[in-house]
A and B are shown apart, each in its own frame.
Chain A
Amino acid sequence: MGLTWMNYLARNRELGVGLALLLGMIAFAVIGGLLVDPQNARPLSARVLQPPSWALPFGSDRQGRNLFAVITTGTLLTLRIGLIAGILGVGIGAAIAFVAAYYGGWVDSILRSIVDIGLTVPNLMILIVVALTLRQGMTVNVMALVIASLAWLYPARTIRSQVLTLRERAFVQIARLSGTSGPGIIVKELMPNLLPYLMASLVGSVSAAILASIGLDVLGLGVFEAPTLGMTLYWVNFTGAVINGWWWWWLAPIVVVGILFIALFLISIGLDEIANPRLRRQV
């Protein structure tokens, strides 16, 4: 069993490399987090603007944060926002999609209109107004919920179209003729067959949620006390670290964020191949 998985990952290189990058980064954040006191991610825990050294592997920023502590805790915080918003988004989106596509009729047309209109509006703009309103009580979890409030739209649309094609398949017809109830068909027949697709959808949602959270952070709507990757980039931009030559300050967050997005991108390409075998090695 283990060997066949390895073989598959060797063939589906995108998935293999993506998973390796993501797991490597999580391992770095977790192990690195054990080596350093997370409290050092706060300002004034080190001398300001120190380049990397043995004591400060990633150096320190202008407010005296230990950047190694910032990156390790920040990576996990950012992933947490992405996971909360992504899971909620796909969960709600899938529930709506199943109901809309399976029952059809006016339920479907109402839900579809809402989703279509919601997707025409640039999400970040809505999130900006919501985040600005909630600014006083903003925490990492609140931000995740704010992002989740719109994260279900895209999964709802894509999963719905998948359910629509699946609904007409013979095995679903047979289940229906055997007297399986609507919810029974959704849970027992449709869900298992869409599992790879739901996973791919989840990865896409997590990636979009992280992108949105970093966007809000960089705009100055993030949690100022939380050392997320986005807030680190906000400070980089705020202090002009790039044009002041403090390379260690921006290098680590950019590399980590870059690897994170590339890893999620590769995983979603790889999962697409599982979900849609016709794509396999076509090109």
Chain B
Amino acid sequence: MPVYYLAKRVGIFFLIVWLAATLNFFLPRIAGDNPVAQKVMQMAALGGNLHAGMQDMVKEYQSKFGIDKPLWKQYLTYLVDMTRFDFGYSIANYPRKVSDMILEGLPWTVCLIMGTTLISFVIGNVLGAFQAWPRAPRWLTTIMPPLLAMSAIPFFLLGLILVYVVGFSLQLAPLYGGYTAGAIPQWSWSFGLDVAYHAVLPATAIILGSLGGWALGMRAMMVTTQGEDYVTFAEAKGLSDRTLFVDYGMRNAILPQATALALSLGQLVSGAVLVEIVFGYPGIGTLLFQGIRGSDFFLVQGIVFLVIVAIGLATLILDLTYPLLDPRIVHRNA
């Protein structure tokens, strides 16, 4: 891989990080002189939850971003804070730092999204490949319309339906939370099972909602692949169905799907955030919801910044590994 391409791709990643931080800094300031400090006061006055330390927080904020400092100095301070993932204190839960709160929720969200993406990507692509396979069982074609219908609906809507049908009516799975209330998070079998049990419904909502999209894309790619000369030739050679299907068909059809995965990451995360809210899942999404409800500006900003950086990083990694999947791709100076 040429250094030029690598440098350009990494450069774009840092550009995204810088833009996200800049947006976070300037947007609230366009709206007013110092709306963040105002918001802190307002919160303290309205909510009546004026903690003893709240004054310290305002003071610290003023010393960093006070109006006596020139804007460029404030901006630089802010950028430095962002690169250290220092998002300040949570307004609603004062003595806690935003970065600590995010760190607590992050594993939940990362596991949920990575797990569901992996499962739905594999199952969806296999299903889609079979759709285009003339010798596939009949019943496979009948599940396509419902899958497509579900892929058109937002994840959290499927989540609400699942909560009602599976959780509320059939009482087969828990309705809420990431683990049984009162359980102490620890590394043990029983707690692990409890967590898995609670993850079933939110994960199912995301998987059901994404299967159709993968299957549709894979079906189209398989149809194209099967028209290729090398497949006809392989068929004429008398290669087994399995070899034809897996090595000649899927191996080549999967490549654009990997690109599609990189492109759909943002939407996937946005969808998962809303699913977390429906289930009160203890991840980033629920945290974001709490932040918005409590006008906890720093918390919301921190989460937004982190999600943008995470998705930028994931896209970067996928882009850089793509040539490994498809050796024909050579990045030239373009």
Q: Interface residues, chain A, CB within 8 Å of chain B?
A: 116-117, 119-126, 128-130, 132-135, 211, 214-215, 218-221, 233, 236-237, 242-243, 245, 247, 250, 254, 257-258, 261-262, 264-265, 282-283
Contacts and interface: CB of A to CB of B under 8 A. Distances in A.
Given A121-B311, A245-B168, A261 B289 contact: no
A123 B270 contact: yes
Given A129-B24, A283-B132, 12 more contacts: A120-B315, A121-B16, A122-B307, A124-B270, A129-B304, A135-B295, A242-B175, A243-B175, A261-B152, A262-B152, A282-B223, A283-B220
Main secondary structure of the interface of B (DSSP, over half): helix
Contacts of A283: 131-132, 219-220, 223
A148 to B, nearest CB: 17
Given A117-B16, A133-B28, A258-B157, A220 B292 contact: yes
Contacts of B265: 122
B105 interface: no
A219 B288 contact: yes
Contacts of B35: 133
Contacts of B160: 233, 236-237, 242, 250, 254
A219 B12 contact: no
Nearest to B131: A283
Contacts of B270: 122-125, 215
A219 B274 contact: yes
Contacts of A130: 27
A132 B292 CA distance: 8
Contacts of A221: 292
Contact of A132 (B12, B300, B311, B312): B300
Main secondary structure of the interface of A (DSSP, over half): helix
B207 interface: no
Most buried by B among A119, A128, A221, A245: A128
A121 B31 contact: no
Most buried by B among A134, A237, A264: A237
A128 B266 CA distance: 14
A218 B270 CA distance: 12
Given A132-B292, A254-B161, A120 B277 contact: no
B308 interface: yes
A125 B176 contact: no
Contacts of A237: 160, 277-278
Interface of B: 12, 15-16, 19-20, 23-24, 27-28, 30-31, 35, 131-132, 148-149, 151-154, 156-157, 160-161, 163-164, 167-168, 175-176, 219-220, 223, 263, 265-267, 269-270, 273-274, 277-278, 288-289, 292-293, 295, 297, 300-301, 304, 307-308, 311-312, 315
A237 B175 CA distance: 12
Given A134-B31, A262-B152, A128 B168 contact: no
A257 B157 contact: yes
Given A122-B269, A243-B167, A117 B157 contact: no
Nearest to A210: B154
A243 B288 contact: no
29 contacts: A116-B12, A121-B20, A121-B312, A122-B265, A122-B308, A124-B266, A126-B304, A128-B304, A129-B301, A133-B27, A133-B30, A133-B35, A135-B295, A218-B156, A218-B274, A219-B288, A220-B293, A237-B277, A242-B160, A243-B163, A243-B168, A250-B160, A250-B164, A257-B157, A258-B153, A261-B154, A262-B153, A265-B152, A283-B132
A128 B311 contact: no
A27 to B, nearest CB: 21
A120 B20 CA distance: 12
A211 B151 CA distance: 13
A264 B154 CA distance: 13
B157 A124 contact: no
Most buried by A among B20, B164, B301: B164
